[in-house]
Chain A
Amino acid sequence: MVKCNSFICFVVFILIFSWFAHACFAVEKADAEEALIDAENILSSAYVAVLEVEKSGGNVSGLLVKLDSGGHFLVEAQMCYRNGDFDGAVYYADLSVLNVTGLVEEAGQLKALAVSGCNERFFQMVAASGVAIVVIVLGSVVGWRIFKRRYFEKVLKMKPEVVKRES
C-alpha cells in the first residue's frame, strides 16, 4: 500500500514537473528579442571597428570572414524568431555573438599596426619625394648653367658673314 502511494506520488510529481518545466526553462519572446538586439548591436559595433581598420589601410579580409559567419548566424536567429522558435533564436543569436567575440579587440590591434605602417610609409614617401625634388632642382640648375655656357660658346664662335644683297 505504501509502495503504491509512493508510486502515485512519483507519477503526480513527474506530471506536475513536466507541466511547469516548460514555464521554467522555455525561452520567452522577450528573451529572444533581447538576444537578437544584443547580437545585432555587437555585430554592428564589430563592423564599425573593421571599417576603421580599413580606413587606416589595414587588411580586413580575415575580419570580414568572421563578420560574415556572425551575420549568417544572426540571419538564422531572425528566421527562428519569425517562425516562433524562440529557443532557436537565442541559440543562433548566441552563436553569432560568439563568432564576433574578440573581433573589436583584434580590429583595434590591426588598426594600431596599420596606422604605424601607414605613418612609416608616409614618411618614407615624403623623404623619397623630397630627395627626388632636391635632385631635380640641383640637376636643373647645373644643367642650365652647362647649357648656358655652351650656348654662349656657340654664339661666340659664330662669325659674321657678309651677304651679298640682291637687288
Chain B
Amino acid sequence: MNLEDYRTVFAVSCLILILVASAPTLSLVLPFSGGERFSELWILGPNHMAEDYPFNVVNNTVYNVFLGIGNHMGSSAYYMVYVKFRNQSEPLPNATAGMSSSLLPLYECRVFLRDGKTWEAPLTFSFSGVSFFENQSFVESLVVNDVVFSVGKLALWDGGNNGFYYQVFVELWIYNAGFDAFEFHNRFVGIWLNMTG
C-alpha cells in the first residue's frame, strides 16, 4: 500500500466514525417508518388455546372464549370491539371492500392499548328461548357477559352440514383522530355454532 491508499483508509474510517457519532442525533431528526403497522384480533378457546371452541351449543348453557387484541400501530390506539350474531343468510363484513357487517352490534368493548401491547378478556355467552320447529330453529335471546340481548334469530336446517348454524363474530373498529370517528379496521373473527336440542 502506498501513501494515497493509506489516506483513503484514514478518510473512510473517519467518515464511518463521524456517522456513528451522529447517529443518535440523526435518529431524532430523521423519521423512520418503524415497520408495518397493523392490529391483531383473535378468539381463543376456554383454555386460552386455539382449540376446544364451543360448537354444538344448547339452550341455557354458558360457553367461554377469550377475546384478544394486539396493537402494532406505532402508537397507542383506541379500539372498539363489536360482538354480533348472525345466521347463515345474514351478511358478514366484506374484507375486500373494507366494509363492516350491516348487522347491529349487541355487545361492545372499548380498549385503549399502547403500542406493542396486547389485551385479552373473557367473553361468555349463552342462549335462551331456543326452540325448534320442523326445519327451523329459533333463538330468542343471547346473553353476552351477563347482558341479555333479545335477538329473535331464525336459522334454517343446513342439510349439507347437518345442523342449525349461527355465528358469533367480532369486528374490530379503531378510532381515527383525523376523522374524529371510529372506522372499521377490517379485522373480524367468529366462531360457528350448531344449535342442538
In the bound assembly, the distance between CA atoms of A74 and B109 in angstroms comes to: 9
Interface string of B45-77 (1 = CB under 8 A from A): 000000000000000000000000000000110
A89 contacts partner chain B, Cβ-Cβ < 8 Å: no
Closest chain A residue, CB of each to CB of B1? A151
Neighbouring A residues of B177 by C-beta, 8 Å? 47-48, 51
Out of A43, A54, A71, A129, which one reaches B22, CB within 8 Å? A129
Interface string of B126-150 (1 = CB under 8 A from A): 0000000000000000000001110
Q: A44-B180, A125-B25, A136-B17 are in contact. List 9 more A-B contacts (CB 8 A).
A: A44-B78, A50-B112, A75-B108, A75-B110, A78-B108, A125-B28, A129-B21, A136-B14, A151-B6
Instruction: Supply 16 A–B pairs (Cβ within 8 Å), ascending by A.
Output: A61-B114, A64-B114, A68-B112, A71-B78, A71-B112, A72-B110, A78-B108, A125-B28, A129-B21, A132-B22, A136-B18, A137-B14, A137-B18, A144-B10, A147-B10, A151-B3
Most chain A CB within a 10 A radius of its CB, from B3, B25, B113: B25
Interface size class of A (residues with CB under 8 A): 35 or more
Q: State the Cβ distance, A99 to closest chain B Cβ, in Å.
A: 12
Most chain B CB within a 10 A radius of its CB, from A78, A82, A83, A128: A82
B168 contacts partner chain A, Cβ-Cβ < 8 Å: no
Closest chain A residue, CB of each to CB of B146? A79
Q: State the Cβ distance, A47 to closest chain B Cβ, in Å.
A: 5
Out of A55, A125, A128, A133, which one reaches B75, CB within 8 Å? A55
Out of A54, A75, A83, A126, which one reaches B25, CB within 8 Å? A126
Out of B21, B78, B108, which one reaches A132, CB within 8 Å? B21
A129 with B10, Cβ < 8 A, contacts A55-B75, A136-B18 known: no
Closest chain A residue, CB of each to CB of B21? A132
**Which residues of chain A have a CB within 8 Å of any CB of chain B?**
43-44, 47-48, 50-51, 54-55, 60-61, 64, 67-68, 71-72, 74-75, 78-79, 82-83, 122, 125-126, 128-129, 132-133, 136-137, 140, 143-144, 147-148, 151
B24 contacts partner chain A, Cβ-Cβ < 8 Å: yes
Q: Is the CB of A83 within 8 A of B28?
A: no
Out of B13, B14, B28, B110, which one reaches A71, CB within 8 Å? B110
Q: Is the CB of A133 within 8 A of B112?
A: no
